[in-house]
Amino acid sequence: MGFFDSIFGKKKEEKKTEDKRICPVCGNSFTGRGMDVHDGIICLDCWELVMDDFEMGRMDEDKDFYIAPIKAAVLAKKGEIASDKAAKAEKPIVCPICGGKMPKLLTAEVKDGYICDECFHTFNELEENGETDKALEDTTLKELSVLIARADKQKVAKEQRKEQDACPVCGANVSEKSTGSLWGDIKRSVKDEIPKFVLLKDNQKICAECAEKVRLLYPVLYTQTHDSDGDPTGSHLDTLHNITLAEFRKALEDVTVKRQQLEEQYGSCEAVISVGSVGRDFENARTSPGKKEYLIRGKILFGKASMGDMIQAGSGTLMRIDRLRQITGFEEYTGNVVDSVGEGYYAIVTVAEDVSCIYPGDTLIIV
């Protein structure tokens, strides 16, 4: 190093100009390393156009990794780009996807055309990563049409599932789906929040509250059969299972007329019960042997029987309902303790009075 070099520093070397090469694919000059293929070096601009169509790694046995097939692919890609630009030269009046009106300003662009705002929003809902604009740049109208058609089909299916989870009469929830967590399902079960419904003939779910409105016309029937040993087996048949939703809607109209007829027939009363059997109730026989209670089993034809109601039997005889059970499911003998039993259901009424004046087949008025 010379004296002046040690004081002022060595003169900075001039940067050597890189040699320019001619790309054998596009004919343009380029600098830098480029992309090595088997029989030459091509510019990176050409390679980026077709790199997705060729293997990323270089393999000596790869017969396509030559200038000729790459050049053909580049020309095809440039032709495709030119075609896309030509297609986007003018904005269409109507959306090529849905036929809707195109906005005058800020029209959403896809790879080879334009779409309306509604189709854009539909695609935006499909794009989960939030890069809708970038995704549209790589999507053609044909591809977008398929995606939107699929999304519309899924939307319709979702709405249908939602309708199936709601009572078609009042819209109440009749879904049997899990809450998504074990603890949530447990709380739902404890609080008795699991929807109760009746399945009609056409698989429509009617909520329990709506079903009760037509029990006057479509009651729950009780049947009893005997096995080979002669032991009785009882079961309940819900007549609502035999009608369709259209017939159910008609029943909602007919039941009003039927109720008016019964009110005219029986007058003002809480309920009417058809007696099936009468017998002694031995539930409290051990604790109160002197107290005689009797069971009246029957079907509520009209209205609702409740605890504390009075039964009118014979010539003005009144009996108070001390206990009340509803016969449901397979509990034909004991039933479930309830506060009231509605029309169309079977009930077990317990009274403390003498029932010698009541016989099977009688019709009792509950006031």
Lowest-confidence segment of 184-188, 239-243, 283-287, 301-305 by average pLDDT: 184-188
pTM above 0.85, yes or no: no
Element (H, E) at 348: strand 346-351
Residues 6+ apart with CB under 8 A from 318: 310, 311, 312, 367
Residues in the chain: 367
The string of pLDDT tens digits covering residues 118-165 is 888 887 776 554 555 566 777 888 888 888 888 777 776 666 555 567
Taking CA 301 as the corner, what is the angle to CA 298 and CA 302, rounded to the nearest 5 degrees? 135
Helix (H), strand (E), coil (C) string for 166-232? ECCCCCCECCCCCCCCHHHHHHHHHCCCCCCEEECCCCCEEEHHHHHCCCCCCCEEEEEEECCCCCE
> Long-range contacts: 211-214, Cβ < 8 Å, 24+?
211/240, 212/342, 212/344, 213/252, 213/255, 214/240, 214/248, 214/251, 214/252, 214/255
CA distance 144 to 154: 15
> The domain 269-366: what is its CATH number?
2.40.30.10
**pLDDT tens track for 64-98:** 678 888 888 888 888 887 776 666 657 788 888 88
Strand 346-351 and strand 293-306: the pairing is antiparallel
- Annotated domain spans of the chain: 13-87, 91-164, 173-220+236-266, 269-366
And the tokens for 74?
């580049």
Q: For the segment 342-357, what is each residue's pLDDT rounded down to a tens digit?
A: 888 888 999 887 777 8
Please tell me the distance from the alpha carbon of residue 243 to that of residue 215, in angstroms, as a whole number.
Answer: 13
CA angle 171-174-178, nearest 5°?
135
Q: How sure is the predictor about 301, in pLDDT bands with cuts at 50, 70 and 90?
A: confident
Report helix, strand or coil for 33. Answer: coil
